[in-house]
Amino acid sequence: MSAVQEKWWKNSIVYQIYPASFKDSNGDGIGDVPGIISQLDYIASLGVDVIWICPMYDSPQHDMGYDVSDYEKVYPPYGTVEDMETLIAACHSRGLRIILDLVVNHTSHEHKWFQESRSSKTSPKRDWYIWKPAKYGANGNRSPPNNWRSVFGGSAWEWDEATQEYYLHLFCVEQPDLNWENTEVRQAVYTSAMEFWLKKGVDGFRVDTVNMYSKDPAYADAPITSPGSDTQVAFSLFCNGPRIHEYMREMNDVLAKYDAMTVGELPSTPTLEGVLRYVSAAEKQLNMVFSFDTVDLGMGKDYKFLTKLRNWTLPELKTVTRRGQDIFNGTDGWTTVFIENHDQARSVSRFGSDKTPELREASAKMLAMFQCTLSGTQFVYQGQEIGMVNAPEDWAFDEYKDIDSTNYYHMVREMSNNDPAQLETAMQALQHLARDHARLPMQWSAEANAGFSPESSAKPWMRAHDNHTEINVRAQESDSSSVLSFWKKMMRLRKEYAEFFVFGTFELLDEQHGEVFSYLKRSKEGSVLVALNFSEVPQDFEKPVGELKLLVSSAEESERAELKPFEGRIYTILN
Ligand code: GLC
Ligand code: CA
């Protein structure tokens, strides 16, 4: 099988860990590195190959560590650099690899580089960030250099009283953008953020917001898509700028010395050609990227929360899935498979059903089958393997901690003058799409705090889901029909049939069917059929020519021809 000669990261399953919410070892209510170490045997038991740790660097935590104040230190509540060294060694001794999050589009405003940069206009580091003078209207009113809206809402520019200029922050005010045009900045990033950790043995990086380092140098206004607003969506002007591929290649030269794996986060790049420029092996830039097609389904264009609930259709999911699968078809590129991460609500609540325990379990298993039969490097987010779901509908706004959620809610409150109906709509959107849902404590057991923090400890930083008494690792580990057991089985099957599931090509069947998602995975050795019922009622499905042999069903074995609600099946096709 050709799979054997392929790069190790292609046939790998990556397990993503959010340090604050994974396991709290010392009872302060915050997850930590020793907590991760204590669960490595569990992680290894899943059958995954790599762990990815979200930012554990020192940070004032305005954006949960994506605002790094020191790349060479660990956020003290999470632990120390020594703890990280222990974690790296403990992973390697179990045959697991470990990758970190590389957050270098911006730093924290508390990073010493920014402190120096903002100290005066003549600071040697002034040019390390993006500073621009104000614009003044006829009436003398000051306004930002352009109308760009930050990803978290509001202007992307912040006025600095002391030096009388604006600085750019594509994310929150406390995340000033680095100026990648400056060679010294790039070298400092390579040394401090990358090589410091590569030398300690990390196996690669997930590269945050990877296409935003090069901005359109004109800094022109973005086209008006929300009339009446003084800020506009500006992704087209700050993503994929003219120098981005030069930066990627330069960065890759450093990474290549360590044979590091890279997966870049690639928003706003909808075309195949656009993606391939980053991931074609000949380009020597990134190994693979996360495209947003699937996880953005149903989100509002102007504001992600400004949308209807479940505002997507199954044929749309099919189209975006095919787009992701086609990235490596006939090219030298590679692709990824994921439907959850720390920026997304839970997939069962978005794409399956959390209405009843039966539907929840059935859809969690069906989605596991979906992910495990798609080609590319697979990413599983903590808690996904036990079918964790969104926070309940009756949780109040103050249970939501994420800046993305709170900024939006406060904006609606302000703009609507506290209108209860609009606030209710905003709450519903948060309950459906907020990033907070992925950040609830990992549900280890039915005990208090879901076994995340010891019983006697401080309140966890986010409230544990009320359903942890039902959905938890301990209960599922000993139950052969649990979501967890099914995930393990599917991950084994993925490896066993890697030529179909990891490396096979994807062929959509019955494209317009609104309830059943079915496709063939083809390899030199033949084809397998995957049929997934995305609805709450039984469904018939189209069968290709050839004799079908059932390989696995996500539901209890049944003689019925129809798929049960949210059932998935895989057949081998004998010709
Ligand atoms: C990425 C991260 C997200 C963070 C943002 C800014 O999208 O995944 O969590 O808020 O970058 O760093
Ligand atoms: Ca702790």
Q: Convert the pLDDT of each residue in 312-344 to its tens digit.
A: 999 999 999 999 999 999 999 999 999 999 999
Per DSSP, helices labelled H in 47-192 are 81-93, 112-119, 183-188
**3-27 CB burial, b ≥16 within 10 A, e <16:** eeeeeebbbbbbbbbbbbbbbbbee
Whether residues 326 and 386 fall in one domain = yes
Q: What is the pTM of this model?
A: 0.97
Q: Which atom of ligand 1 is nearest to the CA of 404?
A: 10
Q: What is the CATH number of the domain that holds 292?
A: 3.20.20.80
Residue where a domain terminates, one of 432, 450, 483: 483
Q: Which atom of ligand 1 is nearest to the CA of 435?
A: 9
Instruction: Tell me what pLDDT residue 36 has.
Output: 99
Domain assignment present for residue 417? The answer is no
d(CA 336, CA 263): 9
Write the CB contacts of 11 (distance below 8 Å, at least 6 apart in sequence). 3, 495, 498, 502, 503
Which ligand gives the minimal distance to the CA of 79? Answer: 2
* Confidence category of residue 1, pLDDT binned at 50, 70, 90: very low
Measure the CA dihedral 289/290/293/298, to 10°.
-170
Domain assignment present for residue 131? The answer is no
Best substitution site from 343, 404, 406 to test ligand 1's pocket, by max atoms within 8 Å of Cβ? 343
Q: What is the CATH number of the domain that holds 536?
A: 2.60.40.1180
Q: Which residue has a Cα nearest atom 5 of ligand 1?
A: 66
Lowest mean pLDDT of 242-246, 360-364, 417-421, 454-458, name the range. 454-458
Q: Which atom of ligand 1 is nearest to the CA of 341?
A: 8
Domain assignment present for residue 43? The answer is yes
Domain assignment present for residue 177? The answer is no
Measured CA distances, 364 to 197, 292, 374, 426, 566 (Å):
36, 21, 16, 26, 9
Whether residues 463 and 513 fall in one domain = no
| d(CA 276, ligand 2 centre) in Å | 41
> What is the total count of domains within the chain?
2
Measured CA distances, 349 to 341, 360, 421 (Å):
14, 8, 23
User: Which residue in the list 177, 265, 343, 354 is annotated as catalytic?
Assistant: 265
Q: Which atom of ligand 1 is nearest to the CA of 105?
A: 12
| d(CA 511, ligand 2 centre) in Å | 48
Query: Is residue 255 scored above 70 in pLDDT?
Result: yes
In this structure, the strands spanning 336-337 and 377-381 are parallel
Which ligand gives the minimal distance to the CA of 342? Answer: 1
Residues with CB under 6 A from ligand 1: 63, 66, 103, 171, 208-209, 265, 342-343
Whether residues 468 and 545 fall in one domain = no
Whether residues 467 and 536 fall in one domain = no
* Confidence category of residue 575, pLDDT binned at 50, 70, 90: confident
User: Which residue in the list 83, 208, 340, 404 is annotated as catalytic?
Assistant: 208
Whether residues 386 and 530 fall in one domain = no
pLDDT digits (tens, 9 = 90+) for 429-456: 999 999 999 999 999 999 999 999 998 8
Whether residues 446 and 537 fall in one domain = no
Query: Is residue 4 scored above 70 in pLDDT?
Result: no
Which ligand gives the minimal distance to the CA of 77? Answer: 2
3-class SS of residue 336: strand
pLDDT digits (tens, 9 = 90+) for 51-109: 999 999 999 999 999 999 999 999 999 999 999 999 999 999 999 999 999 999 999 99
Q: What is the mean pLDDT of the chain?
A: 97
Domain assignment present for residue 307? The answer is yes
Whether residues 243 and 98 fall in one domain = yes
* Confidence category of residue 116, pLDDT binned at 50, 70, 90: very high
Domain assignment present for residue 133? The answer is no
Query: Is residue 557 scored above 90 in pLDDT?
Result: no
| d(CA 566, ligand 1 centre) in Å | 32
Domain assignment present for residue 496? The answer is no
| Active site (annotated) includes residue 265 | yes
Which amino acid belongs to residue 508?
L
| Active site (annotated) includes residue 110 | no
Range of the domain at 293: 3-107+183-398+442-483
Rounded average pLDDT over 224-237: 95
| d(CA 30, ligand 2 centre) in Å | 4
Measured CA distances, 541 to 78, 328, 538, 561 (Å):
49, 28, 10, 9
Whether residues 392 and 523 fall in one domain = no
| d(CA 209, ligand 1 centre) in Å | 7
